[in-house]
Amino acid sequence: MTRETLIAALQSAIGPTCVLHRPEELMLYEYDGSSLDQALPDVVVVPGSTAEVAAAVRAATGMGVPVVVRGAGTGLAGGTVPDRGGMVVSLARLNRVLSIDPASRTAVVQPGVVNTELSVAAAPYGMHFAPDPSSQRSSTVGGNAGSNAGGPHCLKYGVTTNHVLAATVVLADGSVVRLGSTVPDAPGYDLLGAVVGSEGTLGIITELTVRLTRNAEDVRTFLVIFDEMDAAGACVSAIIAAGIIPAALEMMSGEGIAAIEASVHAGYPPDARAVLLIEIDGLREDLADEARRIAEVCTASGARELRTAADSAQRERLWAGRKGALAACARIAPHYHIVDGVVPRSRLPEVLRYSEEVAARYDLKVVNIFHAGDGNLHPLLLFNLRVPGTRERAVAAGEEILRACVAAGGTISGEHGIGLEKRDYMSWLFSEDDLSAFADIRAVFDPTEMMNPGKLLRTGAPSADQAPTQAFRRTTERGAWI
């Protein structure tokens, strides 16, 4: 098989305008949001229907070419980096909300729909799509399903898998299957549950039926300010222990607070050691009592101040700070390595302290910006990649922090997925028998290991006659990355 043969076959299958193969076109698909690993694909296809996705997959896998599916490219674990070359399937054109059913509170969408746009479409019906990753203004529903993304409001409402009811999936041989059901408690194996969060290793989702959530009658948002990071971490556990489950319970600490304020002007005090962003929603009659109880817990935990958003505009500014935190931290250093680990809430203070100790030891800046309510940590290790050795230090520091998460009774990913970045860490959590069972499940969907090979689980390298034309490239070489 030659690259030219593959390109010709794809152009015949889905049309020449939907097949990208020039170097300047391929450079745009060599990385994802993590920007630590890069690799050029051999070809990129941008299909406009399930049938075209299936045709492209048949053409590629029939020639032994690996297939990598890509949404908006906002992933943070290298899941869409084509490290073995092959064909990238961009779902950018599959971007329509196909229908909304207010009676059943469901929507049928294509995978390229941007997360926020689905909530905008549902707003006239008094509903929204609850999963809300911080990248929701750019990340897609299909990509969120691929990594089982979370978000601030998933503390109360659940992660993406809790909101996906059914999906159309293209398998490795180009066949199309329908998984899941809108019928509650349908019998049979939960194959949809296996696909959501599988990071494109089992197939390509080309349509989703998702659950919509009715908008709450009332919402209240609080900014809680602390002079000590330990006190803020302990307050998180105290709120949950008091029987209060906020819609969102976020935490920010370190230099990032001042950077966010300088960038967004959200109203965060630049001198704070840590802040909590707490949101409650529900019936208006219930929220006054819940707000009082939260204030009592925060005061008892040593909060310096609790501020309540006076109106929707102030609430939006507070959330703009949280959602824009990663971009704001570019004021501290130009590059970052974000860690995505989970710990029991009661262990938050010690793991947060440890992350700062690790960063100092590796001569890195660290800002903790994370989903505190469910213990999903996101230490942001900041550095300048142009300084030799900093990338390696950041990766090593991230590994130490993840080991600490596991040692504390947690895990190595809360929502970003495993991808390339954490594939070799799976053995920290799972035995060889466990990993073998996962591989057996994967083989049922993709016996030739052509769908996103080497991601999530380590799979065998392609044979010599199937090897992609592009070798894996690191960011130290020239590319689209800056």
pLDDT class of 272 with cuts at 50, 70, 90: very high
User: Alpha-carbon distance 350 to 234, whole Å?
Assistant: 10
User: Does 271 share its domain with 370?
Assistant: no
In a domain, 476, yes or no: no
User: Does 201 share its domain with 103?
Assistant: yes
In a domain, 462, yes or no: no
Contacts of 100 (CB under 8 A, 6+ apart): 106, 107, 121, 122, 125, 212
Share the mean pLDDT of the chain: 93
pLDDT class of 462 with cuts at 50, 70, 90: low
User: Does 418 share its domain with 385?
Assistant: yes
Q: What's the pLDDT score for residue 460?
A: 66
User: Does 197 share its domain with 109?
Assistant: yes
User: Does 465 have pLDDT greater than 80?
Assistant: no
Domain boundary residue, one of 70, 92, 114: 92
User: Does 126 have pLDDT greater than 70?
Assistant: yes
In a domain, 452, yes or no: no
Average pLDDT over residues 387-403: 96
pLDDT class of 34 with cuts at 50, 70, 90: confident
Domain boundary residue, one of 214, 232, 258: 214
Between 392 and 2, the more confident residue is: 392
pLDDT class of 1 with cuts at 50, 70, 90: low
pLDDT class of 37 with cuts at 50, 70, 90: confident
207-220 pLDDT per residue, tens:
999 999 999 999 99
pLDDT class of 459 with cuts at 50, 70, 90: confident
Q: What's the pLDDT score for residue 184?
A: 82
In a domain, 28, yes or no: yes
* Domain of residue 12, CATH code: 3.30.43.10
User: Does 185 have pLDDT greater than 90?
Assistant: no
Contacts of 441 (CB under 8 A, 6+ apart): 194
In a domain, 465, yes or no: no
Domain that residue 197 falls in: 97-214
418-457 pLDDT per residue, tens:
999 999 999 999 999 999 999 999 999 999 999 999 999 9
Q: What's the pLDDT score for residue 471?
A: 34
User: Does 319 share its domain with 225?
Assistant: yes
User: Does 360 have pLDDT greater than 90?
Assistant: yes
**Tally of CA atoms within 13 A in the half-sphere of 288 that contains its CB:** 2
* Domain of residue 197, CATH code: 3.30.465.10
User: Does 85 share its domain with 116?
Assistant: no
In a domain, 457, yes or no: no
Tell me the pairing of strands 87-90 and 43-45. parallel
Average pLDDT over residues 156-175: 97
The pTM score is 0.93
Tell me the pairing of strands 365-370 and 379-383. antiparallel
pLDDT class of 186 with cuts at 50, 70, 90: confident
Q: Is 276 helix (H, G, I), strand (E, B) or coil?
A: strand
User: Does 112 share its domain with 187?
Assistant: yes
Domain boundary residue, one of 214, 231, 263: 214
In a domain, 393, yes or no: yes
Residue type, 51: A
Identify the top-confidence range among 107-111, 326-330, 466-470: 107-111
User: Does 236 share its domain with 304?
Assistant: yes
pLDDT class of 36 with cuts at 50, 70, 90: confident
Domains in the chain, number: 4
In a domain, 471, yes or no: no
User: Does 461 have pLDDT greater than 80?
Assistant: no
Average pLDDT over residues 234-238: 97
User: Does 207 share its domain with 230?
Assistant: no
User: Does 150 share its domain with 239?
Assistant: no
List helix spans (H) across 301-431: 312-323, 325-328, 348-361, 390-407
Give the rounded percent of residues in the chain with a pLDDT score beyond 90: 91
User: Does 102 share its domain with 195?
Assistant: yes
User: Does 348 share its domain with 419?
Assistant: yes
User: Alpha-carbon distance 422 to 456, whole Å?
Assistant: 8
User: Does 271 have pLDDT greater than 90?
Assistant: yes
* Domain of residue 257, CATH code: 3.30.70.2190
pLDDT class of 221 with cuts at 50, 70, 90: very high
Q: What's the pLDDT score for residue 468?
A: 43
